[in-house]
Amino acid sequence: MTRRSGPATRPTVAPFAFAALVTALLAMPAAAETVTVITSFPKELTAAYKKAFEAKYPNDKLEILNKNTAAGIAFVREQPAGSRPEIFWASAPDAFEVLASSKLLQKTDAQNPAVPAKIGNYPINDPEGFYLGQALAGYGIMWNTRYLAANKLPEPKEWADLANPVYHGHVAISSPSRSGTTHLTVETILQGEGWPKGWGQLLAIAGNCAVITERSFGVPDGVASGQFGVGLVIDFFGLAAKNSGLPVEFIYPSVTSIVPANIALVAGSKAPEAGKRFIQYTLSDEGQALLLDKQISRLPVLPATYAKAPAGYPNPYSGKIQAKVNFDSNLSESRYYVVVALFDQLVTFRHKELVAATKAIQDAQKRLGARTSRELDEARRLAFAPPVDEKQAADPALLAAFRADKKDADASKRRAQVEEEWASKAKANYAKATELANAVK
Amino acid sequence: MSAALRLTRAAPAGGGGAWLLALPVVTFIVVFLAWPVATVLYTAFADGQGGFTTGHIGAFLSISLMREAFVNSVIVAIGSVALATLIAVPLAYLTARFEFRGAALVQTLGVLPLVMPPFVGAVALQLLFGRNGSINLLLGDAFGIRIPFMEGLNGVMFVEGLHYFPFILLNLVAALGNIDGAMEEAAQNLGSHGFRLFRRVVFPLAAPGFVAGAALVFVKVFDDLGTPLVLNVTNMLAPQAYLRITSVGIEDPIGYVIALVMVVFSIAALALSAQITKGRDYATLTRGGTALRKRPLTGWNAMLAYGWVLLVLALVLSPHLGLLLLSLAKVWSFSVLPDGYTLQHFALVLTDSSRMIGNTLLYCTLAAGIDVVLGTAIAYLLLRTRLPGRQWLDWGASAALAIPGIVLAIGFLRAFRGLELPLIGGALTASWIAIMLAYAVRRLPYAVRSCVAALQQVHVSLEEAAQNLGANRRRTARRVVIPLMMGGILAGFVTSFITAAVELSATILLATTESQAPLSYGIYLYNQSIATRGPAAALGVIAIVIVALGTYLSHLLLEARAGGAKFAVDTE
């Protein structure tokens, strides 16, 4: 924060330093412009920007506040206008939507005209101009090479590979309700494969998972330390871990989407001009080149920057990463709450039962060999089919119950009913599927 | 026990002095706990049009997942208390009542698990006990088996028990130290030995300390968010509240209904524990320190005792070992031990984050100081006055245990929005004082429990004697009561201090500049990426060293005080 972070209010180790405090207060120098940045990005990234930005603009000071996205939103929202931070910088587009709809973002003309309008079908900058894409991120599969070798597992290539019985108990994913980027992957699979097939694939993969992690970072962390073999992660986690010398590999599967991580100017901040300067800097040639650092490993939005990248650096503009899915962000946004609630009720909170059903089905298939069985098909249908079809999921009444003002008691009751229906149906289906599969000879 | 010693309690009624003492306590609880939390929790009853509704409670009850989560939370809390008891009671009894070499060291090391910051602790534990942690890799190589230490509800109990047993240890050691050695001597003269002596005499006398500690463990585990989350167990109440508030949105009423249920249940659990120790008299006239206080250990008994203590210590300190290895590791992945070692993580955090260490010391000292002052006042009002509604002070302060950090932090931001600080200027919510006050509120219950337990063991006739000799109540409190309580007060200070040092959930919301952020924030920050996991562990090691030194110092102080207090009793 600007003046407040002057020496006057900085805590000192000795509690007796009150006199020094008052002296410092009186002697406070004319404050430079301070840009406060709320971000969920890791320290090595923010530290690189702080150093470079302050070197270029010696009169500006960059204050980084690292908070997870939810805490970041709450922080911005609870600050009175006039003393809010200048910049909000994070991955999940929904966080920016929440801020924009609460009138907490301010439009800027800080964009770099050299940045293309779209990546694939996805607009890089917010069409309404509230936030700008600052880097690109794609989802992919990361694995621990030692783990795979020790367990004699093949290297996966596609999402669908992870539903293969050999990976049972070796995979990890995060819940889309916990991580905006996981939500994008889930949506990508749903849009790429279609609703019923997509859910079938997701549930089969989830049934192979050792855990559904609470934080999206839990996946790359667990893979890096060898707790799990394979994980669904955002690209820079995989690339940065590999570049730090950990025994991991990362690939983009063919059904993936590339989406921007965003930066925005907060409305009601103390130093909007300096804030704008920082946004411009992050989008400039220099600012974009910082993303190529080994420990950061993010994809720049500026196509020209890739010329400076080391050999083998993925370039989404070159067509090297195929993004087969034309991501429809309106569809994704309209059913956001339904998709995440469905995932939590079917997978996150019923994971134990889902894993048991998956295991029973895989064992039954092993017993059958090449033969087929009607019971087993029925078990598969019970375990891996979503309780609502695409039409039902798009039902305006259902969407309304999930989107309504959270304080509305009737809507909250309706929502609780729907979730309860899904949860009990899922539990019963998993139990029945396990029973059917175990009975197959 | 001490029917003969039991005197009628000449507790003074709630006179003017009591009211004067109660006023600041009530003010603190209302302004910094009740009001901020109310600004958030009212959501559980708001219908969106400014009216009142109980519809959200109905919705909560209709969700089977919530009922399951509640049952799971209770099971885990009880299981963790059982495990914590198994670990803590032998440690406390052996080191406090026997001539045990390195008793101070054992008691200090035994407190360390409390300072394991949840993020780092889980990483370290995963590396050792996880699916492919060192232990399971070794077991897999040798016997082809794998033990799921860290999975499901059992995993939560395992980690929670290891993490929170120091609450019982600290309180029990203080309580054991306060027992009159003559009691044990009398029992021994009457032929009671070994386990029977422990079960029939020593343990019942130390019961207030044990119950205080066990109640803390229960409530703490019941409300704990970090451990289930890092173990990815979501079918419990606290994670459900957190997940709803952070994913559905800060306005989601069900999340606040859960918070409300946790508050009510936690207060009920504490009230129950108070009920158990109520109506009995634990006070003894003389304090510990008579000749037979520490008995010698010989032969097989000694071997068994040392063996057991070493085994337990090895288990409870394993996360620290894991953390230390991680802080020195170059790469540690899918192997029993790291591939190579380096000091560069320590070099990085010492140049980068030394300010955070100072901040933590400052905030936690102030917060724990506030806590023991308030805790002593509450204990005194509760046990030595008849102030109407005094029980509510205890419950009110203890309610903080059940308030999720994120709720309190949002409450602070809301309640004190726009409030300027006198003298220094700037908004309260933007200054480190808000962080410090949040720590004080969140850790107050620990100090209250320790102080109440300590005062319960001070016999009121000592004060009566002082008053008969002409000391007024203030002088009595200052010269007799507080010195006699000092062990408990220090235990409360240490517990508040060290747990505040690793507080994260409120910190993360209230830290407004990096220059005033404490250590726990730095650990969180470094843990956000794989490349800085080593520095995070290094910072964690530094936090543990600081706390260990603090605990050891207070232990030395306590020993010195124990002698002094005894002297005071003898001469008064």
Contacts of B529 in chain A (CB under 8 A): 42-44, 217, 237, 240, 295
pLDDT of residue B120: 67
A431 CB within 8 Å of a chain B CB: no
Contacts of B515 in chain A (CB under 8 A): 5, 10
Q: Which of B365, B508, B529 sits opposite A71 (nearest CB)?
A: B508
A292 with A309: CB under 8 angstroms? yes
Which tens digit of pLDDT belongs to each residue from A333-384?
Answer: 788 888 988 999 999 889 999 999 999 999 999 999 888 889 999 999 999 9
B491 with B170: CB under 8 angstroms? yes
Q: Which of residues 271-290 of A touch B (CB under 8 A)?
A: none
Contacts of A237 in chain B (CB under 8 A): 529-530
pLDDT of residue B3: 39
Which residues have a Cβ under 8 Å from the Cβ of B536 and sit 6 or more positions away? B119, B120, B123, B523, B525, B526, B527
Does the pLDDT of residue B368 top 90, yes or no? yes
Which tens digit of pLDDT belongs to each residue from A178-199?
Answer: 777 788 788 888 988 899 999 9
Q: Which of A11-20, B120-129, B490-499 has the highest mean pLDDT?
A: B490-499
pLDDT of residue A407: 59
Structure tokens belonging to residue B315:
């288990």
Structure tokens belonging to residue A118:
């779209």
**Among A82-86, A231-235, B291-295, whose mean pLDDT is lowest?**
B291-295
Which tens digit of pLDDT belongs to each residue from B211-229?
Answer: 888 988 888 888 777 778 7
pLDDT of residue B572: 30
A211 CB within 8 Å of a chain B CB: yes
- Give the DSSP H/E element, type plus range, for residue A90: strand A87-90
| Average pLDDT of span A95-120 | 88
The torsion defined by the Cα of B529, B532, B538 and B542, in degrees rounded to 10, comes to -60
Which tens digit of pLDDT belongs to each residue from B43-57?
Answer: 778 776 777 777 788
Q: Which of A71, A237, A423 sits opposite B509 (nearest CB)?
A: A71
Nearest-CA distance from B332 to chain A in Å? Answer: 6
What amino acid occupies position B265? F
A340 CB within 8 Å of a chain B CB: yes
Which residues have a Cβ under 8 Å from the Cβ of A341 and sit 6 or more positions away? A177, A402, A415, A418, A419, A422
A259 with A136: CB under 8 angstroms? yes
pLDDT of residue A406: 56
A139 with A188: CB under 8 angstroms? yes
Does the pLDDT of residue B94 top 80, yes or no? yes
Does the pLDDT of residue B565 top 70, yes or no? no
Contact: B254, A416; criterion CB under 8 Å:
yes
Q: Work out the percent of chain B whose per-residue pLDDT is above 70.
A: 88
Contacts of B524 in chain A (CB under 8 A): 66
Contact: B531, A240; criterion CB under 8 Å:
yes
pLDDT of residue A23: 43
Q: How far apart are CA B266 and CA A124, in angstroms?
A: 48
Return the bridge partners of A118, or none. A123
A254 CB within 8 Å of a chain B CB: no
Q: Work out the percent of chain A whose per-residue pLDDT is above 90.
A: 43
Give all strands (DSSP E) within B403-455, no chain letters: none
Phi/psi at B63 (5° precision): -95, 120
pLDDT of residue A294: 84
**Among A161-165, A276-280, B145-149, whose mean pLDDT is lowest?**
B145-149
Q: Which of residues 348-377 of A touch B (CB under 8 A)?
A: 348-349, 352
C-alpha angle with apex A281: A278 to A287, nearest 5 degrees?
Answer: 130
Q: How far apart are CA B307 and CA B329, in angstroms?
A: 30
B71 with B523: CB under 8 angstroms? no
* pLDDT: which is higher, B503 or A58: A58
Q: Is the pTM above the cut of 0.80? A: no
| Average pLDDT of span B12-34 | 82
Instruction: Mutate one of B64, B332, B525, B529 to test the A interface: name it (highest A CB count within 10 A).
Output: B529
Q: How far apart are CA B331 and CA B478, in angstroms?
A: 56
A212 CB within 8 Å of a chain B CB: yes
Does the pLDDT of residue B115 top 80, yes or no? no
How many Cβ pairs within 8 Å bridge chains A and B? 234
Q: How far apart are CA A282 and CA A271, in angstroms?
A: 17
Instruction: Mutate one of A217, A412, A413, A420 to test the B interface: name it (highest B CB count within 10 A).
Output: A412
- Find, among A115, A429, A72, A9, the residue nearest to A266 by Cα: A72
* pLDDT: which is higher, A273 or B354: A273
pLDDT of residue B285: 59
A79 CB within 8 Å of a chain B CB: yes
Q: Which residue of B has its CA nearest to A245?
A: B331
Q: How far apart are CA A269 and CA B568, in angstroms?
A: 60
- Find, among A222, A235, A137, A239, the residue nearest to A171 by Cα: A222
Q: Which of B251, B410, B430 sits opposite A407 (nearest CB)?
A: B251
Nearest-CA distance from B263 to chain A in Å? Answer: 21
What pLDDT band is residue A75 in, cutting at 50, 70 and 90?
A: confident
Nearest-CA distance from B211 to chain A in Å? Answer: 34
> Domain B42-331+344-571 falls in which CATH fold?
MetI-like fold (1.10.3720)
Chain CA centroid to CA A30, Å: 40
pLDDT of residue A197: 92
Count other C-beta atoms under 10 Å from residue A120's C-beta.
Answer: 18
Contact: A13, B531; criterion CB under 8 Å:
no
What pLDDT band is residue B251 in, cutting at 50, 70 and 90?
A: low
ipTM metric:
0.71
Does the pLDDT of residue B240 top 50, yes or no? yes
Does the pLDDT of residue A287 top 90, yes or no? yes
3 state DSSP class of A119: strand
Contact: B250, A73; criterion CB under 8 Å:
yes
Instruction: Mutate one of A147, A211, A227 to test the B interface: name it (highest B CB count within 10 A).
Output: A227
State chain B's mean pLDDT as an integer.
Answer: 80
State chain A's mean pLDDT as an integer.
Answer: 85
Please report the domains of chain A, with CATH numbers, ordered by start residue: 3-137+259-308 (3.40.190.10), 139-257+329-439 (3.40.190.10)
pLDDT of residue A1: 33
pLDDT of residue B119: 59
Q: Which residue of B has its CA nearest to A35?
A: B513
Does the pLDDT of residue B125 top 90, yes or no? no
Q: Which of B232, B358, B413 sits opposite A214 (nearest CB)?
A: B232
Structure tokens belonging to residue A413:
């009751």
- Find, among A213, A239, A216, A359, the residue nearest to B131 by Cα: A213
Contacts of A269 in chain B (CB under 8 A): none
Contact: B252, A406; criterion CB under 8 Å:
yes
Q: Which of A22, A74, A213 sits opposite B509 (nearest CB)?
A: A74
Burial of A310 (C-beta count, 10 Å sphere; 0-12/13-18/19+): exposed
Nearest-CA distance from B467 to chain A in Å? Answer: 37
Does the pLDDT of residue A10 top 60, yes or no? no
* pLDDT: which is higher, A323 or B187: B187
| Average pLDDT of span A163-186 | 86
| Average pLDDT of span B162-185 | 81
Return the bridge partners of A84, or none. A269
Q: Which of A225, A228, A240 sits opposite B529 (nearest CB)?
A: A240
What pLDDT band is residue B152 in, cutting at 50, 70 and 90?
A: confident
**Among A158-172, A418-432, B305-319, whose mean pLDDT is lowest?**
B305-319
* pLDDT: which is higher, B448 or B559: B448
Q: Which of A1, A210, A408 sits opposite B430 (nearest CB)?
A: A1
Q: Which residue of A has its CA nearest to B420?
A: A4
Contact: A240, B530; criterion CB under 8 Å:
yes
Which tens digit of pLDDT belongs to each residue from B305-363?
Answer: 888 888 888 888 888 888 899 889 888 877 888 888 888 889 888 887 888 888 999 99
pLDDT of residue A15: 43
Does the pLDDT of residue A332 top 50, yes or no? yes
Task: For strands A171-174 and A118-119, give the pairing.
Answer: unpaired
| Average pLDDT of span B445-453 | 87
Nearest-CA distance from A270 to chain B in Å? Answer: 13
Q: Which of residues 100-159 of A touch B (CB under 8 A)?
A: 144, 146-147, 150
pLDDT of residue B272: 83
A172 with A131: CB under 8 angstroms? no
Which residues have a Cβ under 8 Å from the Cβ of B301 and sit 6 or more positions away? none
Which tens digit of pLDDT belongs to each residue from A37-70?
Answer: 999 888 889 989 999 999 999 999 998 888 877 7
Contact: A349, B533; criterion CB under 8 Å:
no
3 state DSSP class of B142: helix
Which residues have a Cβ under 8 Å from the Cβ of A31 and sit 6 or more positions away? A2, A3, A6
